[in-house]
Chain A
Amino acid sequence: MLDNLGTSLKDAVKKLAGKTVIDRAAVDELVRDLQRALLSADVNVKLVMQLSQAIKQRALEEEPPKGMGVREHVLRIVYQELVRLMGTPGEVTLGPQTILMAGLQGSGKTTTTAKLARYFQRKGLRVGVICADTFRPGAYDQLKTLCDRISVPCFGDPNEPDALRIVREGLPKFRKLYEVIIIDTQGRHALEENLIEEIVNINEISHAEHRWLVIDAALGQQASEQARRFHEAIGIDGVLVTKMDGTARGGGALSAVSETQSGIVFIGSGETIEDLERFDPDGFISRLLGMGDLKALVERAEEAVSAEDIDVNAMLKGRFTLRDMYKQLEALNKMGPLKQIMSMLPLGGMQIPDDAYDITSTKMQRYKVIMDSMTPPELDDPSMIGSSRIQRIARGAGVTPDDVRDLIKYYKIMQRALKGMRGMGGGKFNMQRMMKKFGGPSR
């Protein structure tokens, strides 16, 4: 996810710590590291150069406010400039609207269309989907299958070669019945003129309120050019970044944002239909700078779980028992993979070992069964579980003692990780507050 970019940036910033005077050499070094971090995150080369120029100039010319350290001063400038680069988040209105999806082949339009349908459905709107991809074989089947799973109607005809006709037929029908209509289109790239013409026409007859561009997080320097052409053709007013659950850092999306003068609307971060997050630029940057983003986590948690299900604060305080883990495992189904949740917590520079995440749904199920065989005191204080208790629990749960030991090992990894988090907590929160105070949003 984005933590990779965060790590390199953090290294760059760390070098400034402890300095009392801003010297050119230190700033140069920071800017160079920042450049490398952004370049390897696929941010457009020209954007990076502009950004680093601006940062360099401001860092050297502006006097740090009284009482503010050099590191904070420079960090603040970096943050502000990054916010500027990021643009404002694309708007999502929860009312009747038509959304036209555009993007390159294989960027994830169809999957994202279904995820969006689910998003609006969850917000209590009636959603209909139109499949205007008449070219790729199986496109209609794909969208239909995904929509059927969430009981959203899908209009289309795999035997009709004319996308315009499908839109012309489907749209009036759906407009009467549904509030939100999402039109999925065929993948195309900016150099295919007849396809660009097609989407211009679809845009005209659909009068879509929103024209969203779907960008693969791995898209490189080509992002600017493609976004510019799409923008010229249909006027993009929002960017969706997909495949953020891979290792790609999504810098291409920034180029697209800058070209289209729009903002990122959603982030797709997984293969299930629920894996779609609202984008929040502050959070994005906080995450970039390794400061975590509680806001997105809370937004998501409110939707999915009631407050008692998972007590983040208790976890942060280090009171983490098997009982918490049980709740956590239960909540996981609703909230998405642990790694996603963790990436939204303000963990600072802490690295959670990868094996902590490496827990599959079948394993989770087994863990729950094992914990069901434990007594309440055991759940509250796992340290009392010795080998004879393990034997008993294993028999009760119908698993091998090794499975029980496996669970306890997993619990210990989690506990250690959370303990580490507590140490980081205070300082980082302050940093974030500081950022909010001086930084972007009120600028």
Chain B
Amino acid sequence: MFDSLKKKLQNIRTQFASNIEEAAGAEPAPPVTEGFEEAQAAEPEPPVFEEEAPEKEREKPTLFKKVKVLVREREILLREKDVEEPLFELEMVLLENDVALPVTDEIIGRMRRDLVGQHKKIGSSVDDLVASTLRSALCGVLGDGLDLRDFIEGRERPVKVLFTGVNGTGKTTTVAKVGNYLQKNGFSVVIGAGDTYRAGAIEQIRTHADRLGIKVIQHQAGADPSAVLFDAVQYAKAHDIDVVLADTAGRFHNRANLMNQLEKIRRVMKPDLVVYVDEAVAGNDAVIRADEFNKAVGTDAVVLTKADMDPKGGAAISVAHTVGKPILFLGTGQGYDDIIPFEPRVVVNELLGDEA
């Protein structure tokens, strides 16, 4: 997961650090230097060195002044110029990893704001400074996680979960996986087959549920999904079931009528949790549609599917940032167990490679 983004981010960090060190014109503390060499040996990037060489020369005239400041103040001031180049590199890395443009702008802006004007005390590690800035930027964007088990524990039964999203993101499969996950955690589950539009959708959820031994409430194709899901909730109440998982038909956010239908479903079944499902491979559009769904029916949590397709993790960052809601699960494969609860801190730590 996220390997490529992780590698790139670490690259960038090193570059940030070296640029800032250059700006400082001071020898970094010995342990930090070691860290650099290791990182750079692992990720040799010749073009970066070529680009850095002329910059060093350009910096020379001001170096003297800086040294004076250094001697007097024992600290240096980071200027915009010092971080510009690595920031551009970071921007490209984020874009290449499917972080949507507006979100990238936001992260870059945050980094710039936090770094520029920072006073760096001589001796304090540059690496730490960059790492903590990047960490806080990413953490700020990813937000907190949400544990579905805790959420259900704290609610009156049955807990109703509604799944929404555009076509083909994997809602039905996700419903089956979440059903399996909850069953394994000791909850009883019923599924409402709310996708009455797409051909074969009811058969699909039916087969999944049969395999997992979960009861499905279904009407025939073309029925009113609100009615199906209402029945599912009634069934759960009558049989003391813990959780109702409501599947819905995929719909595009620019179709007013379909979004109204979803609104009606929400009114009728009154879900405790609206889960928006999108795929990890989606590009910039992920932001637009996440936003539209959030506006139309609200979103309480996000599930990102097909995360196994993509070693990058940009869409996670984009969607989480846009909706401002926690990511519940990542779908990581075709099996029923291929779903993992999402913990932002773990992801950020993994991306940045260490504890700080």
Contacts and interface: CB of A to CB of B under 8 A. Distances in A.
Given A40-B100, A221-B314, A45 B92 contact: yes
Interface string A102-146: 001111101000000000000000000000000111111111111
A322 interface: no
A217 B334 CA distance: 22
A104 B281 contact: yes
Given A40-B100, A105-B170, A106-B306, A138 B95 contact: no
Most interface-central of A108, A142, A143, A248 (chain B CB within 10 A):
A248
B288 interface: yes
B195 to A, nearest CB: 10
Interface in A27-45: 36, 39-42, 45
B170 to A, nearest CB: 6
A218 B170 contact: no
Most interface-central of A108, A251, A252 (chain B CB within 10 A):
A252
Interface string A228-252: 0000000000000001011111011
Contacts of A36: 101
A108 B168 contact: yes
B283 A226 contact: no
B95 A137 contact: no
Interface string B273-297: 0000001011111101100100000
Interface stretch (B77-85, B129-137, B249-257): B249-257
Interface residues of A, number: 48
A107 B308 CA distance: 15
Interface in B238-276: 252-254, 256-257
A116 to B, nearest CB: 16
Nearest to A140: B200
Interface of A is mostly: loop
Contacts of A252: 283
A226 B279 CA distance: 15
B309 A142 contact: no
Interface in B130-184: 166-170
A141 B202 CA distance: 9
Given A106-B306, A140-B200, A248-B283, A221 B289 contact: no
B306 A145 contact: no
Contacts of A6: none
A136 B200 CA distance: 10
Contact of A222 (B98, B168, B285): B98
A222 B312 contact: yes
Interface in A138-180: 138-146
Contact of B308 (A146, A189, A247): A189
Contact of A145 (B168, B199, B288): B199
Given A218-B286, A252-B283, 18 more contacts: A39-B284, A40-B100, A40-B101, A104-B306, A137-B203, A137-B207, A139-B204, A142-B201, A142-B203, A143-B199, A146-B199, A191-B308, A218-B283, A220-B283, A220-B315, A246-B252, A247-B254, A247-B292
22 contacts: A39-B284, A40-B100, A105-B170, A106-B279, A139-B200, A139-B204, A141-B203, A142-B198, A142-B201, A142-B203, A145-B200, A189-B306, A218-B166, A220-B284, A221-B312, A222-B309, A222-B312, A243-B252, A245-B252, A245-B254, A247-B289, A247-B292
